[in-house]
Amino acid sequence: MTIRFFHSVLLLCSALLVVPELLAQHETGSDLLNGERAFRDYCANCHGPDGDLIKEVDLGHNNFRQPYSDQEIVAIIMNGIPNTPMPATPRVSEEQAAMLVAYLRSLGESDDTSVSGNVARGKTLYEGRGECMDCHMINGKGSVLGPDLSSIALVRSAAELEKSLLEPNSEVQPGNRFYSVQTLRGEKVSGRLLNHDAFTIQMLDSNEKLRAFEKSQLLSFGFSNPDMPSLSTDYTSQEIADLVAYLTTLRRGAAQ
Ligand code: HEC
Ligand code: HEC
């Protein structure tokens, strides 16, 4: 996309500081997380968490004062802007600076009402390589192990959906909590907690069977970590965007 476009511009301006291959690479989800971390460490104290704290400067909405190319922003990060308070950031490597730029660009993109992903490709990933149906249900198809996603777009924004995919355990809704018990006879059962009170526990086990237990008959019980896999390492940011684009179409009753 933009990156590939700027890559060809870059080849014409070989006098620039940046190694072209660096920017031509397709950034992955984990690159974006690294970029986010670098932003918090090196930039947010001046620019603010959303990048818009400095008057007339807005880093988080693809709203720069000039239509900078990616490599121009890398150069600004590495060298600062002479004769202004914008400092050079010597601790940042070129690679990190490129991740930072990818992160800033992605913030701008997730602002758009239409995500840059492709719905059909996202659906294919969801039903295929993503193995999402092993745990999730959409309009009655799939599994009840994880939360039902049939109307996920009504309760989650594109940015929140992206976060669920990259950092699954960061915000778990109360109904999505996983629970494990061990009975006095030694049986271990884990699954999704449906309900519990002072004496009993009801849960869906990993075979999707409703199970009920008396707490007095249990050796141990408690929350266990949900196992929604993080997609940050094996998926490109384009694939994540495709999945998010598909998920944002999920409103119960809407044509799928
Ligand atoms: C010490 C405070 C400070 C820090 C730290 C800082 N900046 Fe800046 N930055 C500024 C100021 C002030 C300006 C506006 C300079 C000017 O007047 O041209 C600026 C301008 C910029 C611009 C130009 C924006 C535009 O629209 O022209 C970019 C891009 C930028 N900063 C990125 C970053 C990034 C990325 C980091 C972290 C690696 C960072 N800055 C760290 C203070 C800071
Ligand atoms: C091994 C089971 C498993 C697989 C496979 C899985 N998920 Fe999940 N997913 C979960 C669980 C459990 C949760 C609830 C805990 C959480 O929010 O982290 C969850 C949460 C989510 C949420 C947040 C739901 C909400 O209510 O906010 C989304 C979106 C999601 N998954 C999408 C996906 C997609 C897309 C895939 C395939 C690429 C996938 N999941 C694969 C188990 C799974």
Residues 86 and 49 in one domain: yes
Task: Give the model's pLDDT for residue 225.
Answer: 60
Q: How far is the CA of 58 from the centre of ligand 1 (A)?
A: 9
- Residue 50 in any domain: the answer is yes
Ligand nearest to the CA of 129: 2
- Residue 199 in any domain: the answer is yes
Give bridge partners of residue 214 from the DSSP assignment.
Answer: 200
- Residue 256 in any domain: the answer is no
pLDDT in tens, 26-47: 566 777 778 888 999 999 999 9
Residues 151 and 99 in one domain: no
Q: How far is the CA of 77 from the centre of ligand 1 (A)?
A: 8
pLDDT in tens, 60-94: 877 788 888 899 999 999 999 999 999 998 888 99
Domain membership of residue 234 as a residue range: 119-171+229-247
Alpha carbon nearest to ligand 2 atom 43, residue: 228
pTM value surpassing 0.95: no
Q: How far is the CA of 81 from the centre of ligand 1 (A)?
A: 8
Residues 100 and 129 in one domain: no
Residues 94 and 159 in one domain: no
Residues 38 and 129 in one domain: no
Sheet with strand 188-196: strands edge to edge:
210-214, 200-205, 188-196, 178-183, 218-224
Domain boundary at 69, 89, 111, which? 111
Residues 185 and 159 in one domain: no
Task: Give the model's pLDDT for residue 27.
Answer: 60
**Cβ count within 10 A of residue 58:** 17
Alpha carbon nearest to ligand 1 atom 10, residue: 86
Give bridge partners of residue 203 from the DSSP assignment.
Answer: 193, 211
Residues 219 and 234 in one domain: no
Residues 140 and 186 in one domain: no
Of 42, 53, 57, which is best to mutate to test ligand 1, by the most ligand atoms within 8 angstroms of its C-beta? 57
Domain containing residue 242: CATH number: 1.10.760.10
Closest C-alpha among 8, 10, 1 to residue 71: 10
Domain boundary at 70, 93, 111, which? 111
Q: Provide φ and ψ at 205, rounded to 5°.
A: -80, 180
Task: Give the model's pLDDT for residue 200.
Answer: 92
Residues 128 and 236 in one domain: yes
**What whole-number distance in Å separates Cα of residue 201 and Cα of residue 205?**
12
Residues 62 and 32 in one domain: yes
Q: How far is the CA of 153 from the centre of ligand 2 (A)?
A: 14
Alpha carbon nearest to ligand 2 atom 8, residue: 228
Residues 21 and 124 in one domain: no
- Residue 255 in any domain: the answer is no
Domain count, the chain: 3
Q: Which residues of the chain are under the pLDDT cut of 70?
A: 1-28, 109-115, 171-175, 225-227, 253-256
Using alpha carbons, list the distances in angstroms from residue 95 to 7, 8, 31, 175, 238: 15, 19, 10, 40, 19
